[in-house]
Chain A
Amino acid sequence: MTKSELIEKLAARQTQLSLKDVELVVKCILEHMAQSLAKGERIEIRGFGSFSLHYRAPRVGRNPKTGQSVELEGKYVPHFKPGKELRERVNSALEENG
């Protein structure tokens, strides 16, 4: 499912908002999530999962083209941990349908 399919499905759930409105809704939610992570704040959605930042230690990398080594600084990367309901629904789908 892509972002535009998600927008269509969300729009079909209700009658008050236009497709254009729902598009703004989805953009607003994603932007809010990205902003939180960018300032180091966690996201917790019960039944879905949580997003947090994981630290990656500094390391010596290599430019794959030239083979030259480069010092890479430590950095943070986004991490998602699925919640219980999501884990169970995804996994039971596997058990039922193989």
Chain B
Amino acid sequence: MALTKADMAERLFEDLGLNKREAKEMVEGFYEEIRDSLANNRQVKLSGFGNFDLRDKKQRPGRNPKTGEEIPISARRVVTFRPGQKLKARVEAYAGSKQQ
């Protein structure tokens, strides 16, 4: 089961005592503010968690994998996530020992 916005709102209700409406609005706002910043070409840095960076890609040659036809992949801006040291260490420690 994946973690969803509803789970996060529930946690805000349980741990911080926000009412359900406030909790839902906070979780919604959290992702909306990050999206807005990125849409305005501003990187987002959340210390301890990671950074959302923006990269401008030039047009490059591509191919339709089905037909083999050559079609250019247009220039675009993409979001990349760089996990911070703390998050990397937590994921490595637990998932590594658990699943290997």
A18 to B27, CA, bound (A): 16
| Residue numbers in A under 8 Å from B2 (CB-CB) | 41-44, 50
Whether A37 is near chain B, meaning CB under 8 Å from some CB there, is yes
Would you call B39 and A93 a contact (CB within 8 A)? Answer: yes
Whether the pair A22, B26 counts as a contact (CB closer than 8 A) is: yes
B-contact bits for A75-89, CB 8 A (1 contact / 0 none): 111111010011101
* Beta-carbon contact of A6 and B3 below 8 Å: no
Q: Would you call B76 and A94 a contact (CB within 8 A)? A: yes
Residues of A within 8 A of B87 (CB): 34, 37, 78
Does residue B69 face the partner (Cβ distance < 8 Å to A)?
no
Tell me whether B48 and A53 are in contact (CB under 8 A): no
Q: Who on chain B is nearest to A26 by CB? A: B30
Q: Which of A9, A13, A76 contacts B95 (CB 8 A)?
A: A76
